[in-house]
Amino acid sequence: MSFRAHLESVVNQVDGALACSVMGFDGISVETYQKDDAAELELGGAWVEYANLLTQLKNAAEVLKTGTVTELSVNSDKVLTLIRMVSPEYFLILALRAEGNYGKGRYVLRVTAPKVRAEL
């Protein structure tokens, strides 16, 4: 199964999902699936910034010896963003409308991450 198929499956399973991507910590997307109605949002730019934030959080967790960061969410007025680690170098990122199904998004990313890891 291709990355795109996994990402499309995530977006189609979660109510309110707009887009999903496999990204590296350098901020470069490996693959992205985005619904047409998400075109008005600048998700790519936001996701690059979130990759930087995730890098800082990983470093802080290491210094503080709190364990590995596995998941992060950034909730704003219009978009809920969920990030799930796939490997030490890659993560899944999912954008939902503010009224989207946050819990289902977390669940679907958790079960999809090992499938994506197997493809890397």
Q: Model confidence over 99-110: pLDDT tens digits?
A: 999 999 999 999
Average pLDDT, the chain: 91
- Length of the chain measured in residues: 120
Q: What's the pLDDT score for residue 120?
A: 85
Number of domains in the chain: 1
Q: Give me 94's structure tokens.
A: 């999912």
Q: Where are the alpha helices (DSSP H) in the chain?
A: 3-13, 43-64, 102-119
Contact predicate 11/35, CB 8 Å: yes
- For residue 80, give its domain range: 3-118
Task: Between 1 and 79, name the one with better pLDDT.
Answer: 79
- Give 16-54 pLDDT, tens digit per residue: 999 999 999 888 899 999 988 777 777 888 888 889 989
Whose structure tokens read 């999903």? 20
pTM of the model: 0.91
Give the CATH number of the domain where residue 93 resides. Answer: 3.30.450.30
Q: What's the pLDDT score for residue 1?
A: 67
Query: How far is Cα 95 from Cα 81, in angstroms, rounded to an integer?
Result: 5
Query: How many CB atoms are located within 10 Å of the residue 70 CB?
Result: 12
